[in-house]
């Protein structure tokens, strides 16, 4: 789909890049010639992932421990990446925290746990990288991973919905404010893509997973490669006029939920025949 060297020598910083979708996107960037820094809390897991990713691609992967909820930890991590590679071309804000719960069961600490990672963490990383790009007059590209319910809201994941809506607002706001510095900012809103992190916390039973998958018009969950290719497309210089956009990749899931008549999937072919006879008979 892409030229072999599309991302040659690009330095890409992926938060939460040692697991799940962050790792899959990072692996695709490496295949296309990028150099990678991956940052998250669990250093042991991060270092193992970096070694495996580097071994399979031959590319450079720098693992750095960082808690994105802590602005000092973020600034130190970003300083290390700039120090090591001499530059950063792309920031991928991917780290997140989430779990399902009725909202009235949440403590204030539970709310803070999600808002801290998703909204504050994304903001701190954006500031730490953005300030350096502005000072160096280098420009750069940011990509933020949100969710489809950042637009619509969703019950049972309310701190995540509020935080991701904030990240979407951040994306659109800075796409305008920082365009003058050559900084481009977009978002991806994925539907369900199986990862251990998300499935454990959001779909802990087969029944819940099947219920969610049953909502998807295409009848299947997303493939990591599909998301990774979209991420490559959006960070590539070949689409440098795309700014402030949020691209949904969900097999049509959220639109189905929004369409008033879309649940009429349950009507059988015989019933449609009967309905047509009845309704046509109402002419005049």
Residues of this chain that interact with ligand HXC (CB under 6 A) are: 96-99, 101, 105-107, 109-110, 113-114, 147, 160, 192, 197-198, 201-202
Selected from 10, 11, 20, 175, the binder of ligand NAP by CB under 6 A is 20
Which of the ranges 20-28, 100-108, 134-142, 266-274 carries the binding residues for ligand NAP, by CB under 6 A? Answer: 20-28
Residue nearest to ligand NAP (CB): 197
Q: For residues 122 and 116, what is the distance between their CA atoms, to the nearest angstrom?
A: 9
Decide: 28 and 232 in contact? Cβ < 8 Å.
yes
How many angstroms separate the Cα of 70 from the Cα of each of 38, 140, 143, 197?
17, 23, 20, 21
Q: What is the DSSP string of 119-151?
A: IIHHHHHHHHHHHHHHHHT--EEEEEE--THHH
Residue 68 interacts with ligand NAP (CB under 6 A): yes or no? yes
Residue nearest to ligand HXC (CB): 97
| Position 195 contacts ligand NAP (CB under 6 A) | yes
CB of 268 to ligand NAP, least distance (A): 32
Residue 243 near ligand NAP by CB under 6 A: no
| The entry of ligand HXC, ligand NAP, none that residue 243 binds, CB within 5 to 8 Å by partner kind | none
Considering the complex, state which of residue 138 and residue 154 has its C-beta at the smaller distance from ligand HXC. 154
- Under the criterion CB under 6 A, does residue 190 sit at the interface with ligand NAP? yes
The span from the CA of 64 to the CA of 197, in Å, is 20
Q: How far is the CB of 274 from ligand HXC (least distance, A)?
A: 37
Q: How far apart are CA 143 and CA 233, in angstroms?
A: 11
Cα–Cα dist 85/130, whole Å: 16
* Cβ distance to ligand NAP smaller for residue 97 or 251: 97
- Residue span binding ligand NAP (CB under 6 A) among the ranges 63-71, 129-137, 237-245, 263-271: 63-71
When binding is defined by CB under 6 A, the residue of 13, 21, 78, 246 that contacts ligand NAP is 21
Task: Quickly list DSSP for 81-103.
Answer: HHHHHS---EEEE---------G
- Which positions are catalytic? 149
Map residue 98 onto helix, strand or coil: coil
Cα separation, 249 vs 157, whole angstroms: 19
Minimum distance from CB of 188 to ligand HXC (Å)? 12
Contacting ligand NAP within 142-171 (CB under 6 A): 145, 147
**Which does residue 172 touch among ligand NAP, ligand HXC, none (CB within 5 to 8 A, set by kind)?**
none
3-state secondary structure of 34: coil
Q: Is 36 strand, coil or helix?
A: strand
> Within a 13 Å sphere around the CA of 269, how many CA atoms are in the beta-carbon half?
0
User: Which of these segments, 4-12, 13-21, 128-136, 254-262, binds ligand NAP (CB under 6 A)?
Assistant: 13-21
């Amino acid at each position: 789909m892409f030229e072999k060297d599309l991302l040659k020598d690009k330095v890409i910083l992926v938060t939460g890049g040692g697991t799940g979708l962050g790792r899959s996107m990072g692996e695709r960037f490496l295949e296309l010639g990028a150099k990678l820094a991956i940052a998250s809390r669990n250093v042991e897991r991060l270092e193992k992932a970096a070694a495996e990713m580097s071994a399979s691609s031959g590319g450079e992967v720098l693992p750095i421990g960082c808690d994105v909820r802590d602005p000092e930890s973020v600034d130190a991590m970003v300083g290390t990446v700039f120090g090591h590679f001499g530059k950063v071309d792309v920031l991928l804000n991917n780290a997140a925290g989430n779990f399902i719960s009725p909202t009235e069961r949440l403590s204030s600490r539970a709310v803070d746990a999600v808002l801290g990672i998703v909204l504050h963490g994304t903001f701190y990383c954006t500031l730490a990288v953005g300030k350096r790009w502005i000072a160096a007059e280098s420009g750069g590209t940011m990509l933020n991973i949100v969710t489809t319910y950042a637009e619509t809201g969703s019950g049972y994941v309310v701190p995540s919905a509020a935080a991701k809506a904030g990240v979407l607002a951040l994306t659109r706001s800075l796409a305008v404010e920082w365009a003058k510095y050559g900084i481009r900012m977009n978002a991806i809103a994925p539907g369900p893509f199986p990862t251990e992190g998300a499935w454990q916390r959001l779909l802990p039973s087969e029944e819940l997973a099947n219920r969610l998958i049953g909502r998807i018009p295409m009848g299947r969950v997303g493939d990591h490669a599909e998301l990774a290719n979209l991420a490559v497309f959006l960070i590539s210089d070949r689409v440098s006029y795309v700014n402030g956009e949020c691209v949904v990749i969900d097999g049509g899931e959220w639109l189905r939920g929004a369409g008033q008549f879309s649940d009429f999937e349950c009507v059988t072919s015989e019933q449609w025949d009967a309905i047509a006879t009845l309704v046509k008979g109402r002419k005049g």
